[in-house]
């Protein structure tokens, strides 16, 4: 049963009626371009087949009721909460995510009605695959539908605007200082493509990324080392980047080229130099990766992926034992390239492998985890999928 079917069925069981609409949004894997989005840089994500679905119907009492279907089939409920009472800090835990979206939409002048929401999905939580943003995007689309502004209708807001509304809910309600990468990927990715996103200009370009056509696979290694943007060192690093840009007299680190990097580093405090070096070189790696993919040279991006991991491990310092073990084992077993993906401090790694070597690379990772006494990771192949949309 798909997440949309599960959400609709559970909604009927909970409320004794069918939902008015069901919308879903995917998780994402960032192929390359980490911690560049909040520096006005470049990113290159793909959407996963794994999705979060939201079944929704209006209420007449101005309240928001939310339930989420756990992996064990048990419903976890929050509310009903008056929409007028929503403000940062009122909701905590998982319930803050859908509540924050309702709060953010109302703050944009959208007449969000009272609503019953039921959430179901299969995006692994805490795996660095953007389950929270998939949830928020699906909730945003469902609430916009109930407000008479469905994303597939004549009065639809641009997806870029919806992404910014979701960012507001994440930053100002949940308290996680995330950029625009995850929301944009979940809303705008297309099947068999990576999304080249220039965060400063907002320009989007679909880049062909059909690994199956060239006998390659993108292996995702969910380390099961949980992470949280709101609790990790994510905010500390973001503030460091902003401070470095201020000292350099520029709007964002996007404005430093690789050719200008040494000169920029020379005038910065020692503690900020690694952050700047990562962001500047990572932007350059994204541009190089796009060029290789445009030329049809998918296998050639492997060294760029590996260089990205080294930069995040050594300069940005956001890796961990589980991520490093996964990357090192995959490379030693023949992967063309490997890197951690997502915000860091846990989550997932990816490895670009030849299809015929996928099993041996996966087994090597499992063996290495066992040798290090680590909890076995979850392995699956990432196939670029479509972005968010209406299911019924």
Question: What is the Cα gyration radius of the chain?
Answer: 21
Residue whose C-alpha is closest to residue 241's, from 100, 26, 95, 40: 40
Angle at Cα 86 formed by Cα 82 and Cα 92, nearest 5°? 110
Please state, in angstroms and rounded to a whole number, the distance separating the CA atoms of residues 102 and 99.
Answer: 5
Tokens of 334: 């023949």
Residue 249 class from Cβ within 10 Å (0-12 exposed, 13-18 middle, 19+ buried)? exposed
Residues in the chain: 392
Catalytic residue check, 71? no
Catalytic residue among 37, 182, 284, 391: 182
Cα–Cα distances in Å, from 224 out to 39, 128, 134, 228, 377?
28, 10, 19, 12, 6
The enclosing H or E element of 80 equals strand 75-82
Tokens of 87: 């403000």
Angle at Cα 235 formed by Cα 266 and Cα 28, nearest 5°? 105
| Residues that are catalytic | 182
């Amino acid at each position: 049963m798909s997440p949309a079917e599960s959400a609709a069925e559970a909604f009927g069981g909970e409320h004794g009626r069918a939902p008015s609409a069901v919308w879903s949004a995917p998780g994402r894997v960032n192929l390359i371009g980490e911690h560049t989005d909040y520096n006005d840089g470049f990113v290159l994500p793909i959407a996963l087949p794994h999705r979060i679905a939201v079944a929704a119907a209006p209420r007449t009492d101005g309240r928001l009721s939310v339930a989420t279907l756990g992996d064990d089939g048990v419903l976890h409920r929050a509310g009903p909460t008056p929409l007028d009472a929503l403000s940062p800090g009122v909701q905590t835990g998982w319930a803050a995510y859908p509540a924050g979206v309702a709060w953010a939409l109302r703050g944009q002048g959208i007449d969000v009605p009272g609503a019953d929401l039921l959430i179901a999905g299969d995006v692994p939580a805490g795996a660095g695959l953007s389950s929270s943003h998939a949830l928020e995007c699906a909730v945003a689309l469902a609430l916009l539908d109930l407000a008479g502004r469905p994303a597939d209708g004549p009065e639809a807001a641009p997806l870029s605007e919806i992404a910014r509304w979701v960012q507001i809910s994440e930053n100002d309600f949940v308290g996680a200082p995330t950029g625009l990468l995850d929301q944009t990927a979940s809303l705008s990715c297309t099947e068999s493509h990576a999304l080249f996103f220039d965060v400063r200009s907002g320009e989007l370009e679909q880049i062909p990324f059909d690994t199956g056509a060239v006998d390659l696979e993108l292996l995702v290694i969910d380390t099961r080392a949980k992470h949280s943007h709101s609790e990790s060192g994510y905010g500390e690093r973001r503030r460091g980047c902003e401070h470095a840009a201020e000292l350099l007299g520029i709007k964002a680190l996007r404005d430093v080229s690789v050719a200008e990097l040494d000169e920029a580093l020379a005038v910065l405090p020692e503690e900020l130099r690694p952050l700047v070096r990562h962001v500047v070189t990572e932007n350059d790696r994204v541009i190089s990766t796009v060029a290789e993919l445009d030329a049809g040279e998918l296998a050639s991006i492997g060294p760029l992926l590996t260089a990205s991991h080294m930069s995040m491990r050594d300069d940005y310092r956001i890796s961990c034992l589980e991520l490093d073990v996964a990357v090192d084992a995959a490379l030693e077993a023949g992967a063309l390239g490997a890197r951690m993906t997502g915000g860091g401090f846990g989550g997932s790694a990816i490895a670009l492998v030849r299809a015929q070597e996928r099993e041996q690379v996966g087994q090597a990772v499992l063996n290495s985890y066992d040798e290090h006494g680590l909890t076995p990771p979850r392995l699956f192949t990432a196939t670029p999928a479509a972005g968010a949309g209406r299911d019924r």
